[in-house]
Structure 1
Amino acid sequence: MKLEDIRREYTKGGLRREMLADNPISQFETWLQQAVDAKFTDPTAMVVATVDEHGQPSQRIVLLKHLDEQGFVFFTNTGSRKAQELKSNNKLCLHFPWHEIERQVIVYGEAKPLSTAAVAKYFLSRPAESQLAAWASAQSRPVSSRKVLMETFHNMKAKFSKGEIPLPDFWGGYCVEPTKVEFWQGGEHRLHDRFMYIKKAGGNWDVDRLNP
């Protein structure tokens, strides 16, 4: 196998300035709806990139759980690596890779913690097994075996078997308030279409076309 020989053309359509919405949230909602309508697997999956105190980036895939004019919302264990890194540097990057329609969206912004009420509202809407898994997992920390993890899960299931599963005090969420958002549409001959929204001081957005 020669990796350098693996290539294909991008032919599913172009992107022009007149096709874009005035703000990136509206544009993203349009593209996300098209990904959902196309029945993609995990259309809300996004790569979250953070940086630790030594400047080392790390990435992981999480699911987008809410979107409005304020930004992009996800939830996590506050003891996880990403949450700990966001404590010291709340700047992060989100990446939505919609390969099937040759599109990408990259969001640059700052993560702001959600209120306890907002976190509780979402947590209590999750399936019971997902709630129990949140209690059972000390996310990002070592565990000796899957057997130990499952034992903890079953212990939590027994502990909360007679009532509502409460919100863990180590579980939270973030709203990523965007400062820049790039929309990428694949093009023939690697002449891709890229547009970057940049937030201005007054809250409006400038849009620049980028070279591919």
Structure 2
Amino acid sequence: MASNSRPADPERPRERLLAHGAGVLTSPELLAIVLRTGTRGCGAVALGHRLIERFGGLRGLLSAEARALLAIDGLGAAKTCELLAISELNRRALEEELRSGHALDQPQRVKSYCLSVLAPRRVEHCMALYLDTQYRLIAGEDIARGTLSQASVYPREIVKAALRHHAAALILAHNHPSGVAEPSTADLALTRHLKQALALVDIRLLDHLIVAGDMAISLAERGQV
């Protein structure tokens, strides 16, 4: 008796994923599964290629704002929402890991989390990660939003927030929209002042991360905290 089933088309990402796992697919093919359809004259896989090239890679695509995505031919509201949802789910998964593990034992995860939050920002933002006695994440909060060149950060306000969260330690992070990762004189001065202020209430400043482009620089790793 002849079977009605047909072998999976090697050009069809969904069938290949189910047959062999997601790892065998290229990034444009994985995007094609999310997008489902392309545009006239441009299939879903080709659209995936275009998006990756347009945003300079997957990180750029998944950190893009809604306005930038909606401006792309072939991305309507539905596809834009799907890409934004994937980005937010990734951020929440990273946050989940930090809540259940020890931040000091997973510096790359801390960097990945800060990149997911800060890399898309077009103006300078500063955030604090408040940690418990086991260095697990209690909360992550924006504490300042500035211009393209600076953000006003007040150590006293950070100390007050840390006490409100009953934090035992803290990681500071901010972005450089210019793409220059090197810490400024003001960055180093803030780190010193904040460390001193936190020490007065027996809270440790574990690190100060600077996010620039797809990089996250740790001042602790440089011995500057």
TM-score (structure 1 length as normaliser): 0.27
Q: Which has the higher contact order (CA 8 A, sep 6+)?
A: 1
Q: Could you say which structure has the higher strand fraction?
A: 1
TM-score (structure 2 length as normaliser): 0.26
The higher radius of gyration belongs to 2
